[in-house]
Structure 1
Amino acid sequence: MGGRDPIALLADALDDLEKAIDFNKGKAADTHTVVAINGLSKPEVPVALGRYLVGALAGAVELDAKLSSQLLAYGPDGHAEIQSTVTALVGTTNVFTTDGEIRFRDTKRNAWIGEGVGHALLALSARQETSCTDGQVVTLKRVHPTATRQGLDSVSTYVKAGVLGIAIGESKSTQKYASGNLGEAIGLFVKLENGVYEQDLRDAVMSFRYVLSDDLKPQVSQELWKTNAAYLPMIVHETAYNFATSRPILASLRQPLERRRIIVVQLDDFHAFFDRVADAMRAAVDEVVI
């Protein structure tokens, strides 16, 4: 196992991601705002992202989106636990030949890593304000430890001019079918406004109360996700698609256009990116859990 301080390693990983990634807020479409994320195809990104994701799984990312060793897994038992988790999420190899193996790659491995990209982008948005949200992130729900968990992909809170907002994310990863996957992601927000995810949101916000500053705690209530929410459907893809195309379903939602943000991550080589992140995660277990 590695001998370097894991928190320092993870801080360097976030530094590398911050230097590589650009957040570009495009012109607003009729029904939403497009945020293009550039830089993930740079060669240093998969290693940094893999390390960050293993650190997040191992408990190094607290609810305030800051790194801490307090609950970080360690020792042989911790190593075995995180090794098992990483294997379940990304497998032991990047060779996928049978229908079942390809289905695992596309619907579990890539889907989970795509969620992880969104989590990392929000962690960067806690370091400094980015165009992912209409303000700076101050809390961030823990990354899912399984690839098949139902519910919201990400929940975070952010602050703008002293006002607390909540950002809700839904991630999709697809090489060629961005339009259809975007439609599926948007469908989650329709369900949300129909009350389907009330318990998920209540649980997340209750946990956030303990780490929010005293001046923000009074703003926490179940009205938060009804009156001041940002909807963040995120698509990781390769084949070009015009994300500025109007989406009438988005226009029907109660949150304003400024807070309906489609996060777009276009990769140069879709499958190679996910393979490299998976390799980096497998290697990072020995580096992070010591």
Structure 2
Amino acid sequence: MLLKLALVGASVLLSSLAARRLGHAVGGTIAGLPTIVGPIMGFVLLQETPARASAIALATLVCLPATIVHGVVFAWCATRLRWGAALLAANAAFLSLGAALLALRLPPPWACAAALLSPALGALALPRLGEAPASTAIPRAELACRVVAAMAMAWCIMRGAGVAPAGVSGLLLAVPITGNVLPCFTLPRHGAAAAVALLAGFARGLFGFAAFFVALLAALGAMPPAAAYGLAWLVALLAALSLRRLTQRARRAPLAGQPSTSSTAA
């Protein structure tokens, strides 16, 4: 349990340091990757049968659209409300939609497709605000508070996931720990634009999250659990790198279309 909590704390710290140095969007992207749930799922594979691990992975994929809706609701609430109200609204939306999706019992192909499409749709649904700062100041005391809050939340989730049925465990594993903790600290200190930029990055990172669980679900029936776990991490990293390259190309495209200063002067 202590090792799991240490992994959660390290993930939140890494995301926060990335936000401090490279901007809120980069920190959000790192937070969206399976840096927390991935190690937790590794412990699940060690303790449970492949069949139960597959059931938990499928339930997590089914609930992933609810994780995206959580971020969208928080982002829109952040433009008008304080962080506490935004947090309550976002988690109410997550739990309601997550429970509804589990009740639908989607076939695995549909669940995988919805999980892979929802991050892109969520990014489109976010509000469009002004540019957030490229780097930001986060005091050490706030870093410590972020880590403690995330570890406390993770402790509650892991305690529940260990005894709950597979569907409920999947819903608990899909609870966005960093998606709850980081925006609550970002909004009051840095404003709505920074919180939205963080959540936009979080949605991009969740594409790697979805790729991880899709690969794990597909591989568990075809290879040993350790090999399936390693393959899932490889797919998640490749998905994150591909998305980063696509984002960089999209940013360069408008600049390439602008005339140079010399040609304009001529």
- TM-score normalized by structure 2? 0.33
Query: Which has the larger helix fraction?
Result: 2
- TM-score normalized by structure 1? 0.31
